[in-house]
């Protein structure tokens, strides 16, 4: 996305987002370089960066790499200047993370849900918000991003079946969480926030284009291009779990037969293990994989051919640099599944001069969706991309809080 400011006074809130975004993307960066990059006057950039410094969002330091003359003031993000909460909701589990302005997780909690009732879910989120943000400056916690199973707004598929949160169907989830936490709330599909987390800190870092396969209770996916998750017309693109990959296969809650996530998902694996006499506890899957447990290896042998064909389809559709497989499944399990898919079938993935693997195991695992959820909130509240969704100007709030604190200090 190109960043361009407007040299008109009315454009100040937009320009603040533009300048802050330039720092988020290119720090450390000088004011002169920001002005050049976003097409604003040096004076406007100087005024705005002073405001952002007052708000505590950026810090300035002299660039001492310059040997001659007065070194330029370089701007960087102040990681502790603002926070967001990332929340992940999935059948049986709620997780929350405090994410700083750099997009890094600085604290994390989770709660198993005895049932997936709305009351249990909303109470768990409110409880985790209170405990995780205790001690942090309250006005610096700007908002909350939620990752949950998709797709959204599709009658036969949304909030239907054991891989979704069925009991939230028809509820104003955003409003209920906002009321319980007092924060502005933004919601996206877990595979989309996971793709964002993987792009920022995981195996997708440094890749221009990649497809992220979210292996959670269900199965989802998202294509990331130039750092942006491609959402499609309704934000649901990549709903790979409901591709009917097995002709006349198992019936699925969506109404089709042979959907991919009936075979490849933690829910499918749980059913398989139960049928083979293994009680599945979420934390034990990594151990079962390390021990090459016979029931688990039999499942891998059963589903690997389906995944192998799916990989061809993804590569031929998107021509990605790589497919990153992550989500809530333990990395040991994903690695075994990838191994069982080899040799991979011919596809666009066999492009000439290829130096990297076609399939990569996530390096951030389950945290990707959580981190991406926090960054979703920061983006909506601070970046030009989120401008339409903003309900209030967080930066103004931070500036005013800082100024009134300064006045109180002077008065005392
Ligand atoms: Zn389906």
CATH topology of domain 82-192+369-390: Nucleotidyltransferase; domain 5 (3.30.420)
Taking the centre of ligand 1 as the mean of its atom positions, its distance from the CA of residue 155, in whole angstroms, is: 12
Q: How many CA atoms lie within 13 A of 396 on its CB side?
A: 8
Select from 3.30.70.120, 1.10.3260.10, 1.10.10.10, 3.40.50.1000 the CATH code of 9-77: 1.10.10.10
Taking the centre of ligand 1 as the mean of its atom positions, its distance from the CA of residue 297, in whole angstroms, is: 25
Q: How confident is the model over 140-156, as pLDDT tens digits?
A: 999 999 999 999 988 88
Q: What is residue 133's predicted lDDT score, i.e. its pLDDT?
A: 85
Taking the centre of ligand 1 as the mean of its atom positions, its distance from the CA of residue 96, in whole angstroms, is: 28
Q: Is the predicted pLDDT of residue 3 greater than 90, yes or no?
A: no
Q: How confident is the model over 51-73, as pLDDT tens digits?
A: 999 999 999 988 766 666 777 88
Taking the centre of ligand 1 as the mean of its atom positions, its distance from the CA of residue 411, in whole angstroms, is: 64
The CATH 1.10.10.10 portion of the chain extends over 9-77
Contact 40, 18 (CB under 8 A): yes
Taking the centre of ligand 1 as the mean of its atom positions, its distance from the CA of residue 239, in whole angstroms, is: 10
Q: Is the predicted pLDDT of residue 7 greater than 80, yes or no?
A: no
User: What is the pTM assigned to this prediction?
Assistant: 0.92
Taking the centre of ligand 1 as the mean of its atom positions, its distance from the CA of residue 353, in whole angstroms, is: 37
Per-residue exposure over 88-116, b if at least 16 CB sit within 10 Å of its own CB, e if not: bbbbebbbbbbbbbbbebebbeebebeeb
At 306, the pLDDT band (50, 70, 90 cuts) reads: very high
Taking the centre of ligand 1 as the mean of its atom positions, its distance from the CA of residue 253, in whole angstroms, is: 6
Least confident segment among 46-55, 131-140, 254-263, 334-343: 131-140
Taking the centre of ligand 1 as the mean of its atom positions, its distance from the CA of residue 160, in whole angstroms, is: 9
The CATH 3.30.420.40 portion of the chain extends over 82-192+369-390, 206-363
Taking the centre of ligand 1 as the mean of its atom positions, its distance from the CA of residue 246, in whole angstroms, is: 11
Taking the centre of ligand 1 as the mean of its atom positions, its distance from the CA of residue 163, in whole angstroms, is: 10
Taking the centre of ligand 1 as the mean of its atom positions, its distance from the CA of residue 258, in whole angstroms, is: 7
Please name the CATH architecture into which domain 206-363 falls.
2-Layer Sandwich (3.30)
Where do the DSSP E strands lie in 79-238? Answer: 83-90, 93-100, 105-112, 141-148, 185-189, 209-215, 219-225, 228-230
Taking the centre of ligand 1 as the mean of its atom positions, its distance from the CA of residue 342, in whole angstroms, is: 26
At 1, the pLDDT band (50, 70, 90 cuts) reads: low
Taking the centre of ligand 1 as the mean of its atom positions, its distance from the CA of residue 4, in whole angstroms, is: 43
**Mutual orientation of helices 31-38 and 12-26 as an angle, nearest 10°?**
120
């Amino acid at each position: 996305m190109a960043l361009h400011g407007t040299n008109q006074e009315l454009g100040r809130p937009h320009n603040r987002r533009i300048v802050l975004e330039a720092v988020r993307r290119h720090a450390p960066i000088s004011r002169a370089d920001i002005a050049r990059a976003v097409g604003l006057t040096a004076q406007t950039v100087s005024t705005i960066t002073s405001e952002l410094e007052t708000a505590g969002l950026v810090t300035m330091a002299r660039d001492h790499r310059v040997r001659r003359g007065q070194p330029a003031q370089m701007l960087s993000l102040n990681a502790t200047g603002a926070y967001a909460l990332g929340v992940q909701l999935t059948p049986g589990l709620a997780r929350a993370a405090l994410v700083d302005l750099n997009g890094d997780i600085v604290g994390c909690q989770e709660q198993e849900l005895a049932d997936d009732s709305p009351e249990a879910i909303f109470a768990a989120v409110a409880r985790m918000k209170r405990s995780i943000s205790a001690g942090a400056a309250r006005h610096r916690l700007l908002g909350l991003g939620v990752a949950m199973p998709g797709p959204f707004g599709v009658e036969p598929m949304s909030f239907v079946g054991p891989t979704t949160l069925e009991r939230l169907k028809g509820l104003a989830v955003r409003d209920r969480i906002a009321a319980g936490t007092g924060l502005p709330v933004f919601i996206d599909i877990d595979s989309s926030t996971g793709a964002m987390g993987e792009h920022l800190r995981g195996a997708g870092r440094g890749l221009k284009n990649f497809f992220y396969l979210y292996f959670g209770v269900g199965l989802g996916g998202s294509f990331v291009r130039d750092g942006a998750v491609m959402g499609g017309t309704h934000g649901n693109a990549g709903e790979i779990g409901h591709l009917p990959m097995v002709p006349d296969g198992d019936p699925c809650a969506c109404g089709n037969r042979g959907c991919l996530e009936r075979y490849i998902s933690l829910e499918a694996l749980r059913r398989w293990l139960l049928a083979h006499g293994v009680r599945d506890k979420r934390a034990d899957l990594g151990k079962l994989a390390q021990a090459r447990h016979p029931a688990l290896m039999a499942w891998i042998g059963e589903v690997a051919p389906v995944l192998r064909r799916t990989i061809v389809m993804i590569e031929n559709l998107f021509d990605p640099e790589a497919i990153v497989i992550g989500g809530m499944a333990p990395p040991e399990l994903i690695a075994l599944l990838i191994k069982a898919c080899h040799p991979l079938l011919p596809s666009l993935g066999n492009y000439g001069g290829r130096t990297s693997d076609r399939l990569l195991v996530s390096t951030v695992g389950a945290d990707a969706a959580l981190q991406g959820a926090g960054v979703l909130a920061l983006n909506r509240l601070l970046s030009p991309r989120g401008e339409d969704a903003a309900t209030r100007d967080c930066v103004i709030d931070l500036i005013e809080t800082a100024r009134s604190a300064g006045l109180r200090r002077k008065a005392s």
